A = this chain, B = another copy of it.
Amino acid sequence: MAATMKDIARETGLGLATISKYFNGGTVKENNRLLIEAAVKKLHYVPNEMARSLKTKQSRVIGVVIPELSNAFITSIISAMEDILRKKDYAIVVCDCRSDPRHEKEAVEFLLHRRVDGLINMATDPTGRHLKAALDADIPILLVDRLIDSLRGRTSAVVIDNAHAAGQAVRKLTGLGHRKIGLVLGSPHLYTTNCRLTGYLDALKEAGIVPSEGFIRYGDYTLDGGYQAVQSLMAMEDRPTALFVTNFEMTLGAMLALNQGGVRVPEDLSVIGFDKLELFGAIFPDLTLIRQPQLSIGRESANLMLDLLNNRDSASHRIVTLSTELTEGKSVRAFTEQATV
């Protein structure tokens, strides 16, 4: 059905090689150029990228495996990546593995069959087993947001400085005199969870505060999890005077729990949230929060991948660490005795 280069060769009376050269930016006699262009129009010729890929051994496709597509943090990163990659004529095929390691592994294999030139992964499986096949295939792998210990040196990565981010928040709070600081973390064992916990503990230590297990909750990075965590935190007899919540959804959940529980922010409780996504600003405009640079994460990832693709030989794996920012709002105030009433 569809016209091929052969068709346009016949139509123009030229050889295949000439047509090919024309499409690849080679020099062709003016006259022949016109001929070719006319034939292309006439026959609705569309180059077949698959055939080309077979020959060049480059699919110009990057596989992207993520835990969840319906997550604003993730989609904003992907948008930024796609922008850059598509400009370089790379397509991305996104696989949402629903935070299921089994699906994740299948997704990687699926993409490998399709001969993606590279793989970008926001890993669900912290062991990195799902990437074994990709490692074998020797294509560049880029981890985003979450590092995998066992793969150190074998992949590149773009992450934020999680420990520092948590430290920023907690130091802000201790600086204001708070000593009982609640922490709402994501699922245990997740890379970001651990890092943020470390940052929290370090900052407390700095301030000479002995951490209390009771102030630490795991909220699964979900709205509901954050809601529950904060409810239980507020139900303590000796409850925290300040709170640091470590992702977007949980911060939302936390605020809802506080609103519903009649806890005033910052009068009764100082709160620092996480991730300034669009919706957020609108809903809780005055929240103090730690902002991750999603745009930069996406851009850096795309550029790093492009780099990796162009320097296949060198084992040039890098870890890019982006820093976060503390956005001042009005949800934090200095600790005073009365505040805890």
Residues in chain A within 8 A of chain B (CB atoms)? 1-2, 44, 46-51, 53-54, 59, 61, 69-70, 72, 75-76, 78-79, 82, 86, 91-96, 110-115, 133, 136-138, 223-224, 227, 252-253, 256, 278-279, 282-283
Contact residues in B for A59 (Cβ distance below 8 Å): 50
Contact residues in B for A256 (Cβ distance below 8 Å): 282-283
- CB of A69 within 8 A of CB of B49, answer no
Given contacts A70-B79, A256-B282, 8 further A-B contacts (CB under 8 A): A44-B137, A48-B54, A49-B115, A50-B50, A69-B78, A91-B111, A252-B282, A253-B282
Q: Name which residue of chain B comes closest to A277, CB basis.
A: B70
CA distance A44 to B253 in the complex (A): 46
Contact A93/B96 with A1-B138, A50-B114, A252-B279 known, Cβ cut-off 8 Å: no
CA distance A94 to B114 in the complex (A): 16
- CB of B50 within 8 A of CB of A79, answer no
Q: Name which residue of chain B comes closest to A60, CB basis.
A: B114
Contact residues in B for A253 (Cβ distance below 8 Å): 282
Cβ of A48 to closest chain B Cβ, rounded Å? 6
Q: Name which residue of chain B comes closest to A115, CB basis.
A: B50
Contact residues in B for A82 (Cβ distance below 8 Å): 69, 95-96
Contact A92/B91 with A51-B54, A253-B282 known, Cβ cut-off 8 Å: no
CA distance A1 to B313 in the complex (A): 13
Cβ of A83 to closest chain B Cβ, rounded Å? 8
Q: Name which residue of chain B comes closest to A2, CB basis.
A: B137
- CB of B72 within 8 A of CB of A282, answer no
CA distance A278 to B227 in the complex (A): 14
Contact residues in B for A50 (Cβ distance below 8 Å): 50, 53-54, 59, 114-115
- CB of B79 within 8 A of CB of A75, answer no
